[in-house]
């Protein structure tokens, strides 16, 4: 899936932009899991609030997912002004 998104994008831009896009993509793909692991390991320091933090994290992820679905569907449903 990632290749299907990246390949046309990298072909459409110049070589310098392709390198920059590849670097940003690789750094972001590495950074987000590391941040997630660090935040998850920090739960061991707060056992009293572990359940509340997990519920809050799940709620935030659900809200972000709903927002993204609504935002993208409105973007594709509305006429473009190109």
Q: Where are the domains of the chain?
A: 1-45, 47-82
39/37 Cα distance (integer angstroms): 5
Q: Are 81 and 75 in contact (CB under 8 A)?
A: no
Give per-residue pLDDT as tens, 34-69: 888 888 888 788 888 888 888 988 899 899 989 988
Q: pTM of the predicted model, to two decimals?
A: 0.49
- Tell me: the pLDDT tens digits for 4-43? 777 777 788 888 888 888 888 888 888 888 888 888 888 7
Give residue 2's pLDDT: 67
Count of alpha carbons within 13 angstroms of residue 53, beta-carbon side: 12
């Amino acid at each position: 899936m990632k290749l299907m998104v990246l390949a046309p994008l990298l072909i459409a831009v110049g070589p310098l932009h392709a390198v920059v896009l590849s670097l940003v993509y690789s750094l972001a793909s590495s950074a987000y899991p590391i941040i997630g692991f660090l935040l998850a390991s920090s739960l061991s320091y707060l056992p009293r609030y572990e359940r509340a933090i997990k519920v809050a994290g799940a709620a935030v992820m659900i809200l972000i997912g709903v927002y993204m679905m609504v935002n993208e569907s409105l973007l594709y449903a509305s006429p473009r002004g190109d």
